[in-house]
Amino acid sequence: MGSSLWATILYRPLFNLLLLIYKTLNAESIGWAVIVLIIAIRLLLWPLFSKSVQYQKIMQQIQPELKEIQKKFKGNLEAQGKATMEVYHRYKLHPASYFLLILVQIPVFVGLAGTFYNIKDHITSWPYSSIHLESVPNLSFLGIDLAAPNLLLLIIALSLQFLQSLLIATPSQRKSLTILIAPLIIGFVLHSLPSAFFLYWGVTSLFSIVQQEILRVGESKTAPEKAT
């Protein structure tokens, strides 16, 4: 029941949007439609992503203050919480709004993942009657069968995910093995999925890397120059 509900309200509409893009572009492979769909959705979510990145950077900056509060008010949770909220207020941070930003993005990413899972079966069972395709969409992309697992595409997606993690990590996090182990564990768990999912994962990570660099350059240009 639950899975059919998600398919009806989320997976299937996204999948048909993918088919519509494929048809409109008259693409040689559905892989190009996958890339266009991901980029379009990420552009729509750009403001939310930007706010999330900004929040994370400020949180990294205030970590020393938060740790000092924990030491100062150790054992006094009420005073610790009050002092923490004062820091949030000073930096104009609203934790609830940050989690709301994340929650808004989750259904979209989960929907995309569900759309590409078992894509071969979806090709014949999910299209709306209003979308008329002259033939079954080509699932071969640059010689890769998007309906089957592909080790090369998985390695590329893992590498891009690792690079993205490095860019947003703090210096202490970069020294931790967790930043390397996490993508490897995810890759091991998901290695048997269709490579359409790896294409989605890789393009999403690459877009995030470019987006983070654009935001970083923009911040460096607007930041006030230090007095010499």
Domain ranges for the chain? 2-222
Say if residue 213 is exposed, middle or buried (CB neighbours under 10 Å; 0-12, 13-18, 19+). Answer: exposed
Q: What is the pLDDT of residue 50?
A: 79
pTM, entire model: 0.76
Q: Write down the mean pLDDT value for the chain.
A: 82
User: Which tokens hold the place of 208?
Assistant: 């995030």
* pLDDT at 146 > cutoff 70: yes
Give 150: exposed, middle or buried? Use CB within 10 Å, 0-12, 13-18, 19+.
Answer: buried
Q: Which of 97-101, 174-178, 183-187 has the highest mean pLDDT?
A: 183-187
pLDDT band at 222 (very low <50, low <70, confident <90, very high): low
Burial class (CB in 10 A: 0-12, 13-18, 19+), 193: buried
